[in-house]
Amino acid sequence: MSKQSNFFEGFLTGSVIGIILGLLFAPQSGEETLNKIKDLKDDNQDILDDTKDKTEHLIERTKDSIEQGFDKLSQIIEKSNSSIQESIKERQS
C-alpha cells in the first residue's frame, strides 16, 4: 500500500470517527442522535465495508509475518543448539 493510500484511509476513518463523536456530543435527544448515526452508517457503508476488509487483510498478513518470524527464530535456535552440542562433544573428545 502506498503512503498516499494509507493517508487517505486514515483521513476517511478519522473523519467518520469525528463526525460520530460530534453527533454524540451535540445537544439533541438520544433518539435523534441514534437516527443520525444510523443514517451516517448507511450513507458510508461502502467505506466501512472496504475499511473492514482491508483491516482483516492486514491482520492476516501480520499473523503470517509473525508466524514466519517464529519459524525463522525456531530454526536459528535449533542451529545454535546443534552447534553448541557439537562444540561440547568436540571438547569432551
Chain CA centroid to CA 40, Å = 24
Per-residue confidence at 1, pLDDT binned at 50, 70, 90?
low
Write the pLDDT tens digit of every residue in 50-64: 888 988 888 998 999
pTM (two decimals): 0.49
Write the pLDDT tens digit of every residue in 32-88: 878 887 888 888 888 888 888 988 888 998 999 999 999 999 999 999 998 889 888
Chain CA centroid to CA 45, Å = 20
List the domain boundaries for the chain.
1-43, 45-93
Place of cell 509473525: 66
Say what angle helices 30-43 and 3-25 make with each other, to 10 degrees. Answer: 160
Per-residue confidence at 4, pLDDT binned at 50, 70, 90?
low
